[in-house]
Amino acid sequence: MRMSKKTNTLLFILGGTVFNIIVTVLCFIFFLFIFTRFLFPHLPDGSIAWMLPINFAASIAASFLVYRQTIKLIMKKVDMEKYFVPIFVWKTKPFSPGSS
């Protein structure tokens, strides 16, 4: 059974979202481990208050980088136009500087 491009696109987006969430959680756990194991004993009391937001932001940034590299790898191996519907379709030609 062959799936349509729309179904492939939907499954790709859902899979990418789940992948990104899992990578974010894994990065958060990893950074939390690094912080509590190596940094926390050397910091003053109350450092937990600023550590969690920084840890969360670092996890999001790291997961973004991992996700971006994974998508680049997939795009090299898979012909995206063949299997997926474009998400953003231009009804008119997009503006490009220097064109009249």
Residues 19-51 pLDDT 10s: 999 999 999 999 999 988 887 777 777 777 888
Placement of tokens 């920084």 in the chain: 54
**Chain segment 5-21, per-residue pLDDT in tens:** 888 888 989 999 999 99
Contacts of 52 (CB under 8 A, 6+ apart): none
- What is the C-alpha to C-alpha distance for residues 35 and 59, in angstroms, rounded to an integer? 13
Where residue 38 falls (left for φ over 0; alpha for ψ -120 to 50; beta otherwise) is alpha
